[in-house]
Amino acid sequence: MSAAPTGLAAATEIFDAVIIGAGMSGLYQLIRLRELGLKTRVFEAGTGVGGTWYWNRYPGCRFDSESYSYGYSFDKDLLKEWNWTEHFAPQPETERYLNLVADKYDLRRDIRFGARVKAATWDDANGTWTVELEDGSRHRSRYLVTAIGVLSTPTMPGFPGIDDFLGQSFHTGLWPKEEVDFAGKRVAVIGTGASGVQTIQEVAKTAAQLTVFQRTPNWCAPLHNGKIGAEEMEEIRTRYDAIFQRCQETFSCFLHTPDPRNTFDVSAEEREAFLEQLYSERGFGIWVGNFKDMLTDRAANEEVSRFVAKKIRQRVKDPKIAELLIPKNHGFGTRRVPLETRYYEVYNQPNVTLVDTKATTIERITPAGLRTSDAEYEFDIIIYATGFDALRGAFDRIEFRGRDGVTLKEMWKDGATSLVGMLQDGFPNLFTLLGPHNALGNIPRSIEFNVEWVTALLRHMQRNGMTRAEAGPEAVAKWMDHVMDVARGQLSMEVDSWMTGVNINVAGKQKRIVARYTGSAPVYRSWANEIAERGYAGVLLN
Ligand code: N01
């Protein structure tokens, strides 16, 4: 590595590389950059490691990937050492796991906590980034890696009066470390996405009164979680190689992958039996292991939607409530399917009320609770499960200024562009882990791939005496054509959700765009690998 530039009085510290974020991506990237001998600093806004698993500590929070498919795969000793206690581990366990990784690799000595990055400006003359923190300090580095997450910028609804509320209020994505007691309390939950569903099923256990404010129902399906005993964990350990191999082969790196049959290839009886089987299995089978045309063929999608609607009607006693919980404006799986544990049964409890905010809109938050178009409610606690400014949101709140003085936000105002999600045209030496149009799915698998790819590129540069990498415009255009191509014909593209870039709470994000990569992870990886194999074809290196 060449020496850091000199004469930069404004920068308080000089590094070879800066990583923004100490979540799963940032931690792994730090391990790999140390191996390259790069003097690296991680800036992390929180006071601990974990990213998503640090901020999202709301009741019932857990992931929907099987635990043993979710952990890091790169460290065989860690796989031997660590025991998952549930098929779908709860947030405290995942946070503990990531802290163990930070301890094991002594990562904290290179992480500055409580350090939120405000701006990053490329200095073309020096070939470095100046990174400015909210505390006003400035730091220089040759390389800048964003590990800022996909769903990490919580958004609040624009209701008037939010600050007037005299009780306690929380956003699920900014949950406090202190325990919140719901016993005997009147609680409101606003929002019924994956976070809302997990929160609702947990809060309903102890709250005196839980009122759920639902604008759009989502299709939910059973998680079928279970404990993992010592013996089962030993058995899982023997299968790790096969588990991670499987994740490399499936569509979205989950253990499940689409069934090779089309919905109407089989008889009605076979179809029903298959859907019953998926509905009774652990995890995402019903969503990502369903018939292969379920998310592209309207009639196929209607068939699965009909099946899941039947299940909801069976599980919810009051037919009117059941109808409110069945989505009418989008088909099954065209938005993220929250996995649940007795979520629908919650609405059979006498302490739970469902309010349809399309019929009776929330007008304002009041000091005592909230007012809808037809009623006044009093609450002790209001929980905002109102989601995130997804994908671009985490980038938008940092002012990245590139080679020509243009900001990333300006460049992306009509939708993000990239080269395989990791490199940007006009932003040299900016490496965006899980950046736009990356294969998402089972996130840690994508994280490991991204980190390895960026590390290999930096190693290539070191070996060849290069210090600058940037996406070439032609390669970006070719990749973006592919991104647009694979999105065509996907039913999910016809629906408002964070996956199509829509968030009514954020100015300028009301229009649907191709916000994520909708092709398969293997195809995504083949594009990225081909670039590397062809000596980083399409990447401007010098
Ligand atoms: O956010 P969401 P989330 N007035 O955007 C409602 C991942 N995740 O935090 O649908 C009234 O899905 C909004 O209503 P509508 C996962 O990828 C994973 O729940 O816009 N309501 C919606 O109901 C997930 O997809 C896990 O009409 C308002 C809700 O708030 C992603 O994170 C767990 C409103 C937001 O739902 C995001 O999930 C949790 C308003 N002004 C999350 N504004 C696991 O792995 C918003 N809403 C298990």
- The answer, yes or no, to whether any atom of ligand 1 lies below 6 A from the CB of 518, is no
CA of 385 to the centre of ligand 1 (A): 6
Question: Which residue has the least CA distance to atom 37 on ligand 1?
Answer: 387
- The answer, yes or no, to whether any atom of ligand 1 lies below 6 A from the CB of 190, is yes
pLDDT band at 443 (very low <50, low <70, confident <90, very high): very high
**Mean pLDDT, residues 178-184 taken together:** 97
Residues ≥6 apart with Cβ < 8 Å to 363: 159, 160, 370, 371, 372, 373
- Residue 541: CB atoms within 10 Å: 16
Rounded CA separation 44/141 (Å): 16
Q: Which of 330, 293, 318 is nearest to 308 (CA)?
A: 330
AA letter at 262? N
Question: Which residue has the least CA distance to atom 16 on ligand 1?
Answer: 194
- Residue 357: CB atoms within 10 Å: 18
Rounded CA separation 447/440 (Å): 9
**Residue 507 DSSP SS3:** coil
Q: Over the stretch 241-268, which tens digit does the pLDDT of each residue have?
A: 999 999 999 999 999 999 999 999 999 9
- Residue 184: CB atoms within 10 Å: 10
Question: Which residue has the least CA distance to atom 18 on ligand 1?
Answer: 194
Rounded CA separation 58/174 (Å): 8
**Mean pLDDT, residues 54-63 taken together:** 98
Rounded CA separation 135/195 (Å): 31
| Residue 84 backbone zone (phi > 0: left; psi -120 to 50: alpha; other: beta) | beta
- Asked if residue 484 has pLDDT above 80, the reply is yes
CA of 522 to the centre of ligand 1 (A): 28
CA of 218 to the centre of ligand 1 (A): 9
Tokens standing for 132? Answer: 């400015």
Q: Please give the pLDDT value at position 10.
A: 57
Tokens standing for 194? Answer: 């994956």
Q: Please give the pLDDT value at position 3.
A: 41
**Mean pLDDT, residues 125-147 taken together:** 97
Rounded CA separation 416/391 (Å): 9
CA of 434 to the centre of ligand 1 (A): 20
Residues ≥6 apart with Cβ < 8 Å to 104: 75, 78
Domain boundaries, the chain: 13-49+107-153+390-541, 190-384
- The answer, yes or no, to whether any atom of ligand 1 lies below 6 A from the CB of 64, is yes
AA letter at 278? L
AA letter at 83? N
Tokens standing for 417? Answer: 């562009």
| Residue 242 backbone zone (phi > 0: left; psi -120 to 50: alpha; other: beta) | alpha
Q: Please give the pLDDT value at position 1.
A: 40
- The answer, yes or no, to whether any atom of ligand 1 lies below 6 A from the CB of 191, is yes
pLDDT band at 40 (very low <50, low <70, confident <90, very high): very high
Closest atom of ligand 1 to CA, residue 192: 23
CA of 150 to the centre of ligand 1 (A): 13
Rounded CA separation 502/508 (Å): 9
Rounded CA separation 173/510 (Å): 21
Strands 381-384 and 352-356: unpaired
- Asked if residue 8 has pLDDT above 60, the reply is no
- The answer, yes or no, to whether any atom of ligand 1 lies below 6 A from the CB of 193, is yes
**Mean pLDDT, residues 2-26 taken together:** 76
Residues ≥6 apart with Cβ < 8 Å to 395: 146, 148, 408, 409, 412, 416, 432, 435
- Residue 258: CB atoms within 10 Å: 18
Residues ≥6 apart with Cβ < 8 Å to 100: 78, 82
Q: Are 203 and 346 in contact (CB under 8 A)?
A: no
Tokens standing for 331? Answer: 């088909």
- Asked if residue 6 has pLDDT above 60, the reply is no
The string of DSSP letters for 114-159 reads S--EEEEEEETTTTEEEEEETTS-EEEEEEEEE---SS-SB-----
**Mean pLDDT, residues 49-75 taken together:** 98
Question: Which residue has the least CA distance to atom 15 on ligand 1?
Answer: 216
> Bridge partners of 541?
469
Residues ≥6 apart with Cβ < 8 Å to 143: 16, 17, 18, 38, 129, 429, 431, 458
> Where do runs of H (alpha helix) occur along 163-219?
194-203
**Mean pLDDT, residues 63-69 taken together:** 97
Q: Which of 367, 345, 341, 377 is nearest to 188 (CA)?
A: 377
- The answer, yes or no, to whether any atom of ligand 1 lies below 6 A from the CB of 215, is yes
Q: Please give the pLDDT value at position 49.
A: 98
Question: Which residue has the least CA distance to atom 5 on ligand 1?
Answer: 387
Rounded CA separation 425/440 (Å): 22
- Asked if residue 287 has pLDDT above 80, the reply is yes
Tokens standing for 533? Answer: 């194999």
Rounded CA separation 484/514 (Å): 7
Q: Please give the pLDDT value at position 12.
A: 79
Torsion of CA 317, 320, 324, 330, to 10 degrees: 100
Average pLDDT, the chain: 96
**Mean pLDDT, residues 99-116 taken together:** 98
pLDDT band at 11 (very low <50, low <70, confident <90, very high): low
Q: Over the stretch 344-402, which tens digit does the pLDDT of each residue have?
A: 999 999 999 999 999 999 999 999 999 999 999 999 999 999 999 999 999 999 999 99
Rounded CA separation 497/35 (Å): 39
Q: Over the stretch 214-228, which tens digit does the pLDDT of each residue have?
A: 999 999 999 999 999
CA of 27 to the centre of ligand 1 (A): 26
CA of 120 to the centre of ligand 1 (A): 29
Q: Are 155 and 506 in contact (CB under 8 A)?
A: yes
- The answer, yes or no, to whether any atom of ligand 1 lies below 6 A from the CB of 438, is no
- Asked if residue 2 has pLDDT above 50, the reply is no
> Bridge partners of 17?
40, 143
Q: pTM surpassing 0.90?
A: yes
CA of 201 to the centre of ligand 1 (A): 15
ipTM: 0.99
In the CATH hierarchy, which fold is given to the domain comprising 13-49+107-153+390-541? FAD/NAD(P)-binding domain (3.50.50)
* Residue predicted with more confidence, 504 or 363: 363
**Mean pLDDT, residues 448-466 taken together:** 98
